[in-house]
Chains A and B, each alone.
Chain A
């Protein structure tokens, strides 16, 4: 660019010679980076990402999920601790009462009372002891 004859910058840049030089610069071969370089960069980016996440704290969705799970667990625990409306055996209250009465009666009743007259407790005991083994031939005779 001469000071005496100033030319517009565009004409200079667009001259044949200038464009040929531009084309040569464009034609220069690219230099490719190695896989080792790329692996190293990937490792650094991953480390940066971890640091970013640690600094950011837990994800909001994770927080909401945690709170929800806690509330649900508390509700379930509450239901589990509430006293049951049914009896200890799990039966409806009226049936449970009958069962208790029956159990008490059986515990208190004398076996002779259940068996009826003619069988004393001694007889019963003796009979029990000689159960199926003692029988007499006359037992086999037709009646």
Chain B
């Protein structure tokens, strides 16, 4: 579980991947679109997953994901290797999602979690087997609750949650990508999870109430 929080093994894995990514960047500069395809192969579904959960509409997400790779291809000569390819691509994706939200007139949601609500996290019934993520995968309704929760949470919390919990990005990388202090990244991550926790608990309680004779 500590792996999620930027511990050493994850950092080492990240470095190895950075070297592979740099090799791909060099190939792209030399061989063009064909070599760039390797980068697309590696990241297309991950970028799409991020974009889809940021913009909500699937068709818009498909178009924006293409735009991410087109922008990346156009500016690959300027990639200097200071960040990882992954950070670079997700930064492009995040910026495009923000632009999309502005264009569609969607104002960023304010935080819906009050600071006091975080204390309620302590009342979770750990005995409920559906809290087991492996079992939860089989529960499509529960997965839908989680997806809806991500969709409805604050625009400020969502990217932090997705980058950390889906992409296993360490705090430092997220802070650099989003231009936030590390403390802010951690607090937003906690708030995002607390928001989801409330949604999941409400669903489970409702389910339990319905199943009672």
Residues of B within 8 A of A18 (CB): 121, 190, 193-194, 197
Across the interface, name the chain B residue whose C-beta is closest to A9: B186
Q: Contact: A28 with B146, CB < 8 Å? A: yes
Q: Which residues does A use to contact B, with CB under 8 Å? A: 1-3, 9-10, 12-33, 37-38, 40-42, 44-46, 48-49, 52
* Majority secondary structure, A binding face: helix
Contact B33 A13 (CB under 8 A): no
* Closest residue on chain B to residue A16 by CB atoms: B126
From 99 to 139 in chain B, residues with beta carbon under 8 angstroms from any chain A beta carbon are 115-116, 118-119, 121-122, 124, 126, 131, 133-134, 136-137
Q: Which residues of A contact B1 (CB under 8 A)?
A: 19, 23
B90 in the interface, Cβ–Cβ < 8 Å?
no
| A2/B116 in contact, CB under 8 A | yes
Binary contact readout B144-171 vs A (1 if CB under 8 angstroms, 0 otherwise):
0011001000000000011011100000
Interface residues of B (CB under 8 A from A): 1, 4-5, 32-33, 36-37, 40, 44-46, 48-49, 52, 62, 65-66, 69-70, 73-74, 115-116, 118-119, 121-122, 124, 126, 131, 133-134, 136-137, 142-143, 146-147, 150, 161-162, 164-166, 183, 186-187, 189-191, 193-194, 196-197, 200
**CB-CB under 8 A for A42 and B133, given A9-B190, A18-B121, A24-B200:** no
Pairwise interchain contact A27-B134, C-beta atoms closer than 8 A: yes
Q: Are A2 and B186 in contact (CB under 8 A)?
A: no
* B189 adjacent to A13 (CB under 8 Å): yes
Known: A2-B116, A20-B133, A26-B165. A41 touches B69 (CB 8 A): yes
A5 to chain B, nearest CB (A): 9
Q: How far is the CA of A37 from the CA of B51 in the complex (A)?
A: 15
B121 and A25 contacting across the interface, CB-CB below 8 Å? no
CB-based contact A9/B73 at 8 Å: no
Closest Cβ of chain B: how far from A19's Cβ, in Å? 5
